Amino acid sequence: MPRTRGASAGGGVSPYYVRDLSTFTTVSGDGAVAKTANRVHYTPVQVPHQLTADGIIVVHGAVAAGNLYVALYDSLNYAPNNRLAVSASVAASGTNRRQYVPFTIAVQIAAGLYFTGLEPDDSLDTYLDAFDGTSAEALPAGINNGLNTYYEDLGGYLVPPLVATPIQTTLYTQTAGMFVRVSSIP
């Protein structure tokens, strides 16, 4: 029996609930690898309709140590552009599991292409990888296929920048499979 409360993909009561939007559908062969410290790893996510996002869920591998920031960016010419939301610096916690990292303020966004950003402060943490050609797990399937991933070196563990100056990458090890957490659908 379908639930009668909560956010639905169609905006009303529906058996199809959107709790989070994924930046990947398939993971790399090795599952999770360490990411470069003090580097923002940008991964695309397609948002199918207007919603309010209150954070990002990262997926840790066998090592969860140090601290991290997450952020959400809009896009310009299929690349990350302006930061819309950011978390406080939080401790990485929980091996081989998801960790919810809340934004300092929830953000309402329209349908479109966005980028999640992950910045660890060390190169020991392992995170689930997303392939270079990522896609959203929300309907319609495969709408992100072929989009590029990016990174940006900050020269230290700093708050992710207000405006991204990304470099395109084809290395799946520089991607991070993350989920944008949906708190409501207006």
Whole-angstrom distance, CA of residue 10 vs CA of residue 61: 33
**Contacts of residue 21, Cβ cutoff 8 Å, sequence gap at least 6:** 45, 46, 47, 48, 136, 137, 138, 179, 180, 182
Q: Is residue 115 scored above 90 in pLDDT?
A: yes
Q: Is residue 9 scored above 50 in pLDDT?
A: no
The least confident of 26-30, 39-43, 107-111, 150-154 is 26-30
Domain count, the chain: 1
Q: Is residue 11 scored above 50 in pLDDT?
A: no
Specify whether the CB–CB gap between 69 and 21 falls below 8 A: no
Is 136 contained in some domain?
yes
Is 2 contained in some domain?
no
| Peptide bond connecting 140 to the previous residue in cis, omega within 30 degrees of 0 | yes
Q: Write down the pLDDT at residue 96.
A: 86
Q: Which residue has the higher pLDDT, 169 or 42?
A: 42
Q: Which residues pair with 100 in a beta bridge?
A: 57
Q: Write down the pLDDT at residue 106.
A: 96
Q: Write down the pLDDT at residue 18.
A: 54
Percentage of the residues of the chain whose pLDDT score is greater than 70: 72
Q: Is residue 8 scored above 80 in pLDDT?
A: no
Indicate the Cα dihedral angle 167, 137, 114, 63, nearest 10°: -50
Domain that holds residue 81: 20-184
Specify whether the CB–CB gap between 149 and 22 falls below 8 A: no
The CATH number for 103's domain is: 2.60.120
Whole-angstrom distance, CA of residue 29 vs CA of residue 35: 16
**Contacts of residue 29, Cβ cutoff 8 Å, sequence gap at least 6:** none
